[in-house]
Structure 1
Amino acid sequence: MTRRRRWSTEEILEATAELLTAGDAESFSVRKLAAVLGTDSSSLYRHFRSKTELLRAVADRILVAAMDGYHPEGDWKQRITALALRVREAAGQQPQLAAVWGRYASGGAGSRLVMEEMLQALRTSGLPDAEIPTHYQRIAVLVAALIAAEAGVGALTQEEYEQGMELFRVAVLGADPERFPALAHFARDIRPLGVDRRAAFEEILAAHLTAIEAAIP
């Protein structure tokens, strides 16, 4: 009788990432993963206690990739901005995994590295220690929400994206000026959500960090 191969945790995560890239978190299951690896689900549950735990672990790879080669430079705002942009870039390269991260978050090594750097940067800002956890949480929520929204667009097929653009044009350019006077007035200047996302990301984050700076004693 042929013995089944023993898969390492890293190999399981790699196979999970590949499966998610070809599909999404909704269609993913441990049973499908087991079939791809030629094993049974019980052998995978020796590494991860649940599907959610497995997805959290694979989502953490986004943050590990973002922190690879990272070196803090500049003042606290520059550090946080650079960190957020690195996470955004890593998420953009793997939008399906970024969508999983946006939904399940993570608590692995990558998550701890990002948290440590952001907290260290905030400690140099002049904020009282008692206020830092709250500001950290607000920044984390903002960055995660923006990246998760982008991941949703990035995971679309070209056909789905083009259909969305056509629906946008019909909804905006074809708006009835009597019922939607403001929309009709600005229609030709309003851009789809998928356009200029990096600029919007930077401006929104900068505005938030400026508001924090204004509150520093």
Structure 2
Amino acid sequence: MSERVVPPTARQRRRPTKQGVVLSEALIVETALRLIEEHGADALSVRRLGRALGADPSSLYRYFRHTDDLMLAIADELIGRTLRTWRPTGDWRADLRDLGLRMHAGALAHPRAAVLSSYRVTGRAYEIQAVETILGVLRRAGFPDAEAVRIYHVFVDQALAHGALDSASLAMPKAAREAEAAVWRATYARLPADTHPHIAATARHLVADMPHSSYPAALDLLLSAAAARLAENRPRAARPTVTLDTSVNTAP
């Protein structure tokens, strides 16, 4: 797509496409997301997208200025899908853990799109809602503003990075994934203790753990560290006071 701008008032297509559907931003994003998962990044072409929608490719400019604009909308939709399934409970640690796991699961549900969008900043509605929501969870928990932003940054980057990493692995052919998992059994589990004592000692754990995502464990480590920081930052007046009994028992 080129840098062609269509006023918002002119974006709505009123006539159905050749397939009998009325174009909308949501329909275009949904179709583009499906094509990316089927064909990869090359699917984001005006011609292929128009063909899938049964519409003249030029009609897409009513909704998106160019393919990067569409990519940002796709990234924002992935965020929205996570937020729509998440229900906070008021327990900041449990809520962030649940949200992080949902973000990771959402990336794995759309691995190719997740790899393409993990490093983008959309500035769109769902991303703004996510930033506001996560900062709200942290500030209500008692984190000072600077600390809340720092933990938010780490939390989001960790989820996106693991989502992209695991999505890239999932996007590999099944045979390639199985071959890589077998390396832990065929190579590492057979290294002798006299040359590789630490690998040999932990081999069975490597075989069991390494083929799986480390994100849940990494998330728990982050939240434990955040909880420890919260305890350190809590105002002294809010901390429980321990009174020592210094009286002397003079009873016979």
The question of 1:30 aligning with 2:39 is answered no
How many angstroms apart in 2 are the aligned matches of 1:129 and 1:202? 21
Q: Measure how far apart 1:181 and its partner are.
A: 4.1
Contact 2:37 2:110 in 1 (8 A): yes
Contact 1:34 1:41 in 2 (8 A): yes
How many angstroms apart in 1 are the aligned matches of 2:16 and 2:142? 57
Query: What residue in structure 1 maps to residue 205 of structure 2?
Result: 189
- Of the three residues 133, 136, 146, the one matched with 2:162 is 146
Q: Measure how far apart 1:159 and its partner are.
A: 2.0
Q: Measure how far apart 1:119 and its partner are.
A: 0.7
Range with bigger deviation, 36-45 or 49-58 = 36-45
Contact 2:83 2:130 in 1 (8 A): yes
The letter for the 2-side match of 1:151 is S
RMSD: 2.8
Give the number of the structure whose alpha-carbon radius of gyration is greater: 2
The question of 1:109 aligning with 2:125 is answered yes
Q: Measure how far apart 1:9 and its partner are.
A: 1.4
Could you say if the C-alpha distance between residues 69 and 165 of structure 1 is closer, same or farther in structure 2, counting changes exceeding 3 Å?
closer
Contact 1:96 1:151 in 2 (8 A): yes
Match of 1:97, SS? helix
Range with bigger deviation, 142-151 or 111-120 = 142-151
Q: Measure how far apart 1:107 and its partner are.
A: 3.2
Unaligned runs of 5+ in 2: 1-14, 235-252
How many angstroms apart in 2 are the aligned matches of 1:178 and 1:85? 40
Contact 2:97 2:220 in 1 (8 A): no
Query: What residue in structure 1 maps to residue 223 of structure 2?
Result: 206
- Of the three residues 93, 97, 100, the one matched with 2:116 is 100
Q: Measure how far apart 1:185 and its partner are.
A: 3.6
How many angstroms apart in 2 are the aligned matches of 1:105 and 1:56? 8
Could you say if the C-alpha distance between residues 154 and 105 of structure 1 is closer, same or farther in structure 2, counting changes exceeding 3 Å?
farther
Contact 1:57 1:107 in 2 (8 A): no
Q: Deviations over 1:42-87 (max 9, x none)?
A: 4323422232221121122222111115332133222222221222
Q: Deviations over 1:103-144 (max 9, x none)?
A: 435333221222121111111122222432233212221222
**Which structure ranks higher in relative contact order (CA pairs < 8 Å, sequence separation ≥ 6)?**
1
Query: What residue in structure 2 maps to residue 49 of structure 1?
Result: 65
Contact 1:21 1:94 in 2 (8 A): yes
Query: TM-score, normalization: structure 1?
Result: 0.81
The question of 1:158 aligning with 2:167 is answered no
Contact 1:34 1:44 in 2 (8 A): yes
Q: Measure how far apart 1:147 and its partner are.
A: 2.0
Could you say if the C-alpha distance between residues 35 and 73 of structure 1 is closer, same or farther in structure 2, counting changes exceeding 3 Å?
same
Match of 1:45, SS? helix
Within 5 Å, give how 1:130-145 maps onto structure 2: 130-145=146-161
Could you say if the C-alpha distance between residues 212 and 114 of structure 1 is closer, same or farther in structure 2, counting changes exceeding 3 Å?
farther
Unaligned runs of 5+ in 1: none
Q: Measure how far apart 1:178 and its partner are.
A: 5.9
Q: Measure how far apart 1:90 and its partner are.
A: 2.5
